[in-house]
Chain A
Amino acid sequence: GAVVSQHPSWVICKSGTSVKIECRSLDFQATTMFWYRQFPKQSLMLMATSNEGSKATYEQGVEKDKFLINHASLTLSTLTVTSAHPEDSSFYICSARYGYTFGSGTRLTVV
C-alpha cells in the first residue's frame, strides 16, 4: 500500500519551455505532498509543501513563479517547471505520508 506514481520518469526539454511532473497517490488520499530536488551526489532539498485545496508553501530561495505547484485533488499533485534553464536540470521527487513513500523521481535535463 501507499504507492505514489510519478511521471514522467525522465524528460529532456529545450531551454525556455515548461515541464509538468505529476505525482499520483494510487491507494490512499494524499492531503500533503512534499516536493524535493536532488542534484547529483547531494541530498534531497525540500522545495515546497503542497496541500490539497490550498496554496503551496515554498521554502526560502525557491521561486514560486518558476516552480508552480498544484494540488487540486486528494490523489494528484503536480509540479511545473516554467521557462526551464539548464541549471534546473536535476532529479525531482515527490513524497507523501510524511516521508513514508516517495515517487520514483523525474530526471529533468534542460538543453
Chain B
Amino acid sequence: GENVEQHPSTLSVQEGDSAVIKCTYSDSASNYFPWYKQELGKRPQLIIDIRSNVGEKKDQRIAVTLNKTAKHFSLHITETQPEDSAVYFCAASGRGGATNKLIFGTGTLLAVQP
C-alpha cells in the first residue's frame, strides 16, 4: 500500500521568510496530492492540491510542485505570516483509480516567528 513520508517534522521561520515542506510517496499509482493545514483541535483544511498531470500549481503565497519520476512533492509558502503557524499534512491518493484511499504524511509543525 501507499506510504507517505514528510519532512521536516518541525520548521521554524521568521515572518516574511519562505517555508518548504517535502513529501515522498511510494505508490506510483497515486495521482492526487493534497496539502492540509490543521490548527490545534480543528479539522484539516485543504489548502492546495495537485494532480499527477501537472508539475506545479500556485495559489497566491502557496505553491506545490510534483516530481512524478522521483515520487516526491513539496509545499512552498512565501512571505510567511504568524497566522500560517499550524501543522501541515501532505497526502497521496490514487483518486479515481483502484486505490483511492487518502494516506497522510506524518505532519510538519510550522512556527512563524513574528
Contact = CB atoms under 8 A, between A and B. Distances in A.
Interface stretch (B12-20, B52-60, B73-81, B97-105): B97-105
Interface stretch (A12-20, A41-49, A77-85): A41-49
B95 A43 contact: no
Nearest to A45: B104
Nearest to A60: B1
A12 B91 CA distance: 30
B101 A46 contact: yes
Given A34-B102, A44-B104, A99 B89 contact: no
Interface residues of A, number: 20
Interface residues of B, number: 21
A98 B83 CA distance: 27
B32 A44 contact: no
Contact of B89 (A44, A100, A104): A44
Given A98-B93, A99-B34, A99-B91, A46 B102 contact: yes
Contacts, number: 47
Given A46-B102, A95-B102, A98-B100, A105 B32 contact: no
Contacts of B89: 43-44
Given A32-B100, A43-B106, A98 B32 contact: yes
Nearest to B90: A43
Majority SS at the chain A contact face: strand
A108 interface: no
Nearest to B4: A43
Nearest to A94: B43
B103 A98 contact: no
A46 B4 CA distance: 12
B64 to A, nearest CB: 14
Interface string A41-78: 01111100100000000000000000000000000000
B25 to A, nearest CB: 14
9 contacts: A32-B100, A44-B44, A46-B102, A46-B104, A49-B100, A98-B32, A98-B95, A99-B46, A103-B43
Interface of B: 32, 34, 36, 41-46, 89, 91, 93, 95, 100-107
